[in-house]
Amino acid sequence: MCTMGEPDRQMAQPAGARGLLERELEIPSRVDEITDRLVTAIAVGEYLPGARLPAERELAASLRVGRMTVRAALARLVEQGLVETRRSGRGGGTYVLQQWPESSTAAVGRTLTMRAHELRDRCDAICRIHGAVCRAAAEARTDRDIAVLRERLEAYRDAASGLASQQADSALHLAIMDAARNPVLKQVLLDLEASVSIGAPAHLWGEPETMPDMELRALRDHEALISAIADGRADDAEALARTHVAIDYEHISAAMRRAGVLAD
């Protein structure tokens, strides 16, 4: 008796059944990809230990996938011990437990290999746009803007290393964008930063071993940058900003080297 081969069985299936089968076969690879991206986002310091991940709906929108895909990826992160889910009241959510165990290295390598050239070009674009934003801030800032910038600078100076420092850094950079007095330019920069993100629109914060030195370096950059903006030195503000924001790609390059991926 002649048996039906695999291609013939697929041909014999109704069109609707074939479509369902194709979608089912696509789901695991999509979950794999999103799992790798979230593992990498944690490893390179977009989400630091102690940070709460965005809700499933927000992650799905940011990663441009369905909520079921995000849910499956998060379940894998729980199994790997990278995150835990807490379900008690307002403090509920998914929280990062550890940053880069050895088990994450393969996922980091896969993710950064796929996006290496894109990340390099987008980081370069962010440096240029951020320079334009800081030039605009130096030209358009008000006395109130200067006061807010100095408050945010002191908050960064006083913040503890890690998550608190990352959050203070984000608040300072948002204040600089507001001081530029150009909502369109601000949105262009925010959108571009979100497109560079591995898994979250946040500045990379590197690994625990390099974090304290990077935070001190960033503090010196922040001091010089806020001084230039406050004094109206537009050329200096632009140059300082472009150099400062290049730190993000340094973190990506360091992660590539650790994962065994050659960085440019």
Instruction: Specify if 17 maps to a domain.
Output: no
Q: What is the CA radius of gyration of the chain?
A: 22
Q: What is the pTM of this model?
A: 0.82
Residues 91 and 119 in one domain: no
Q: What is the pLDDT of residue 25?
A: 43
In terms of domains, do 239 and 137 share one?
Answer: yes
Name the region of 64 (left: φ>0; alpha: ψ -120 to 50; beta: rest): left
* Cα dihedral sign, 165-62-176-41: positive
Check whether residue 92 and residue 172 sit in a common domain: no
Q: Looking at the structure, tell me whether residues 201 and 87 fall in a common domain.
A: no
Longest pairwise C-alpha distance within the chain: 89
Is residue 109 in some structural domain?
A: no
Type of residue at 250: E
**Residue 230 is part of a domain; what is its CATH number?**
1.20.120.530
CATH number at residue 64: 1.10.10.10
Question: 200: domain range?
Answer: 114-259
Count up the domains in the chain and report the number.
Answer: 2
Q: Which two tokens stand for residue 155?
A: 């908050």
| Per-residue tens of pLDDT for the chain, all 264 residues | 444 444 444 444 455 545 544 444 445 589 999 999 999 999 999 999 999 999 999 999 888 899 999 999 999 999 999 999 998 767 789 999 999 999 999 999 999 998 888 889 999 999 999 999 999 999 999 999 999 999 999 999 999 999 999 999 999 999 999 999 999 999 999 988 887 776 555 678 988 888 999 999 999 999 999 999 999 999 999 999 999 999 989 999 999 999 998 765
C-alpha span between 207 and 256 (Å, rounded): 13
Domain assignment present for residue 125? The answer is yes
186 to each of 5, 130, 150, 193, how far by Cα in Å?
58, 9, 20, 11
| 183 found inside a domain | yes
Is 204 part of a structural domain of the chain?
yes
Tokens 């320079």, residue?
131
CA dist 16 and 34 (Å) reads 27
Backbone phi and psi for residue 86, each to the nearest 5 degrees, phi listed first? -115, 135
Cβ distance 51 to 94 under 8 Å?
A: no
Dihedral through CA 73, CA 42, CA 222, CA 218, nearest 10?
-160
170 & 237 share domain: yes
Please report whether residue 79 resides in a domain: yes
Residues 125 and 249 both lie in one domain = yes
